Amino acid sequence: MNTKHIGKVVFLDRDGVINRDSPEYIKNWSEFHFLPGSLEALGILKRHGYTVVVITNQSIIGRKMVEPHVLEETHRNMRRAVAESGGEIHHIFFCPHTPDGRCQCRKPKPGLLFQARDALGIDLAACAMIGDSAKDVLAARNAGCGQAVLVSTGNGKTALEDLREKGVSPDYVAYDLLDAVHWLVTTDCQPSGGPHA
């Protein structure tokens, strides 16, 4: 395990958080469109010293809809666009399997977060996970992340109902990634035991 301390870490889901989601999946770079405010949010995270790790289910690989190199190209272009806007995506971990694959890495299972922990030497209890679905919040809880934030973009509106049925609540419900990041950095600046929102 890499035990090097990499500072503050925030996990981000991709589709519905950074970029617009689609029921037809995001199959290539031409279908990838940043959500309003997401590039600004990533810039704020960099200025506040956060390491950004994307944690995303990408069953388009397991469904044979695209080849792995196409997904790699999309991620390469995404990272370049983020860097050009003043942000940085440091690492990307993705699950390529379909829902019936019985893997341990597809959210809401915590496998991707454990992969990141082991590869980067992360203390999950000190991390936040920001996502737009119940699967993201559940993965954060299952992995022992310190904070789980739900954004209302993407699947966020139906996610609250799913979470209520499971008796799980996010620490904060944000309008979008920019709102979530403002909450996160404000919380991080609070003295220990201070209010979180």
Residue 166 · residue 139 · CB < 8 Å: no
Query: Whole-prediction pTM value?
Result: 0.92
Question: What does DSSP assign to residue 52?
Answer: E
On the CB side of 75, how many CA atoms lie within 13 Å of its CA?
18
Task: Say if CB 96 and CB 59 are below 8 A apart.
Answer: yes
In a domain, 197, yes or no: no
**Catalytic residue at 15?**
yes
Whether 93 is in a domain gets the answer yes
Residue 156 lies in domain:
8-189
Domain count, the chain: 1
Q: Is 195 inside a domain boundary?
A: no
Can you give the pLDDT at residue 155? 78
Note whether residue 196 is domain-resident: no
| Res 189: pLDDT | 60
Per-residue pLDDT tens digits for 87-119: 999 999 999 999 998 899 999 999 999 999 999
Q: Beta partners for 8?
A: 50
* pLDDT tens digit sequence for 9-34: 999 999 999 999 999 999 999 999 99
Per the domain annotation, does 194 fall within a domain?
no
Q: Which of 15, 171, 176, 179 is catalytic?
A: 15
The pLDDT-based confidence of 121 (bands split at 50, 70, 90) is very high
The whole-angstrom separation of Cα 61 and Cα 68 is: 6
Q: Is residue 3 part of a domain?
A: no
CATH number of the domain to which 48 belongs: 3.40.50.1000
Instruction: Considering the candidates 13, 171, 176, 179, report the single residue annotated as catalytic.
Output: 13
Span 125-165, pLDDT tens digits:
999 999 999 999 999 999 999 999 999 997 777 899 999 99
* 148 part of a folded domain: yes
**Domain membership flag for residue 163:** yes
